[in-house]
A and B are shown apart, each in its own frame.
Chain A
């Protein structure tokens, strides 16, 4: 029974060892090893590949210097930034400040030409301070202004309004303390006619692109940012500062409940819908904080801005906000156990070896031919036969029966083992005989010791 169990355990262990070794070897990949010095897989970015350059250009530096010296405010063709001249005069000391407005989306040489105007000797020595505005990027002396709250982002990117930024740069240059806060955009309810046009488009293909907007299509990452419901997207052109802006997002969210509604005003992204409180300000501040510099200087299409904003929303979603369990990635048990397989294999081999050794460990004499034991025990039985009494006779007779049977076994492995088993029984009976005749010197253990058994 136990011998059988040992045998089965040995085979099971050997099978497991082979299976483990095969699995381990099959998982060793060797094809994708690249033996060379690494080359960066990134592709060089060519300026203008994302459509951020505009068709506008600027005149030569000398020409711009001449214009700035001639007039206090120079607007180069294509310049789009707007500012509230009246408010600025009322709140900031603008005496001796000259403004140069350049169009957005200039390439590298054109940008350098604009920067060279400030450093031109005749401007540096002039009795006025020059503030340049490229797109909506405001620079003056060593100062650069950037919006840092939602109101500021709305003014700069939804309306192209740089009044607040101008105020910040000018007060900075004059060391005049904290700049005043410029008035924000004013909002109004959209009229039912406006809402009707947008709603009809959204119901048809969840996208509305107004005249003048530059969005071409829904970016591919929209499904990552809003996996539950496909978002509805409204793209509007840059707004006018002077007039109240129709506030589409809340109205559309009311019209389409539980649907993410994204409204683009120029390069500003507004949102209404599920989880707004949890991510909107973080995402918007993140996008314009990191990319505001480029978005303001260049003429990016709305596709790029929306793509960046949706990416940020996706990041926040995977950071664990949104009250929703993170998408769980079940681990691959094979990958996890792979490092342990060599040890499992070694343990199986060890087990097989131990069990094999246990199976081999029998009485050492049993491996040899039984002739010596047979001769010794036969001689003992002859010697004892003269001493036996009626009580001890049966055991001697039984011993002789076993000895006779052992003698007739052949020399094969099976026969040898059977002979040894019979001799064990004979030895047992002879020990009984020795005990009965009270002669411990005829104990087979002692008697056969001299025979080298």
Chain B
């Protein structure tokens, strides 16, 4: 019985000690990725406000980016969408 409990404790300790840093690293990555995405969305918003013309495609992309949520992968997708919207608005302004 003591062996069973000891074994379970040992396995549990192993799992926890392996899993906690992973969870923590995942959370940190998620935070960082979402911060990058928020910055990209904000930058796209700046470009939109600076541009007089209306670009429906960019608007759609930005809305899509803002609607996304989830892990680091979703954040990266949001970043890409926002950057594409940003570029579209900047090109529309330059013309």
Known: A405-B38, A405-B39. A397 touches B46 (CB 8 A): yes
Proximity string of chain A (398-410) to chain B, C-beta cutoff 8 Å, 1 when within and 0 when not = 1001101110111
Known: A393-B50, A410-B28, A414-B28. A401 touches B36 (CB 8 A): no
Interfacial chain B residues near A398, Cβ < 8 Å: 42-43, 46-47, 86
The docked-state distance in angstroms from the alpha carbon of A422 to that of B35 is 9
Max count, chain A CB within 10 A of own CB: residue among B50, B86, B90 = B50
Max count, chain B CB within 10 A of own CB: residue among A397, A398, A406, A421 = A398
For residue B32, CB closer than 8 A to chain A, the reply is yes
For residue A113, CB closer than 8 A to chain B, the reply is no
CB pair B43–A402 under 8 Å, yes or no, is yes
Interfacial chain A residues near B93, Cβ < 8 Å: 394
Interfacial chain B residues near A405, Cβ < 8 Å: 35-36, 38-39, 42
Interfacial chain B residues near A417, Cβ < 8 Å: 32
Q: What is the interface residue range for chain A against chain B?
A: 20 to 34
**Chain A residue, CB-CB nearest to B51:** A394
Q: How far is the CB of A437 from chain B (nearest CB, A)?
A: 15
The docked-state distance in angstroms from the alpha carbon of A270 to that of B92 is 107
Known: A394-B47, A394-B50, A398-B46. A415 touches B28 (CB 8 A): yes
For residue B78, CB closer than 8 A to chain A, the reply is no
For residue A418, CB closer than 8 A to chain B, the reply is yes
Interfacial chain B residues near A421, Cβ < 8 Å: 36
The docked-state distance in angstroms from the alpha carbon of A415 to that of B34 is 11
Known: A414-B32, A415-B28. A402 touches B39 (CB 8 A): yes
The docked-state distance in angstroms from the alpha carbon of A405 to that of B82 is 15
CB pair B43–A401 under 8 Å, yes or no, is yes
CB pair A412–B28 under 8 Å, yes or no, is yes
| A residues 345-404 in Cβ contact with B at 8 Å | 393-394, 397-398, 401-402, 404
Interface residue count for B (Cβ, 8 Å)? Answer: 20
For residue A425, CB closer than 8 A to chain B, the reply is yes
Max count, chain A CB within 10 A of own CB: residue among B32, B33, B38, B90 = B32
**Chain A residue, CB-CB nearest to B49:** A394
CB pair A401–B32 under 8 Å, yes or no, is no
The docked-state distance in angstroms from the alpha carbon of A417 to that of B32 is 9
For residue B29, CB closer than 8 A to chain A, the reply is yes
**Chain A residue, CB-CB nearest to B40:** A425
Q: How far is the CB of A263 from chain B (nearest CB, A)?
A: 80
For residue B25, CB closer than 8 A to chain A, the reply is yes
Q: Taking A398-B43, A405-B36, A414-B32 as given, write out 20 further A-B residue pairs in contact, using a Cβ cutoff of 8 Å, ordered by the A residue number.
A: A394-B47, A394-B50, A394-B90, A394-B93, A397-B46, A398-B42, A398-B46, A401-B39, A401-B42, A401-B43, A402-B39, A405-B35, A405-B42, A406-B39, A408-B35, A409-B35, A412-B28, A414-B25, A414-B28, A421-B36
CB-defined A-B contacts under 8 Å, sample of 27:
A393-B50, A394-B46, A394-B47, A394-B50, A398-B42, A398-B43, A398-B46, A398-B86, A401-B39, A401-B42, A401-B46, A402-B39, A402-B43, A405-B39, A406-B39, A408-B35, A409-B32, A410-B28, A414-B29, A415-B32, A418-B32, A418-B33, A422-B35, A422-B36, A422-B39, A425-B39, A425-B40
7 closest residue pairs by CB, A with B = A418-B32, A405-B39, A394-B50, A398-B43, A414-B28, A401-B42, A397-B46
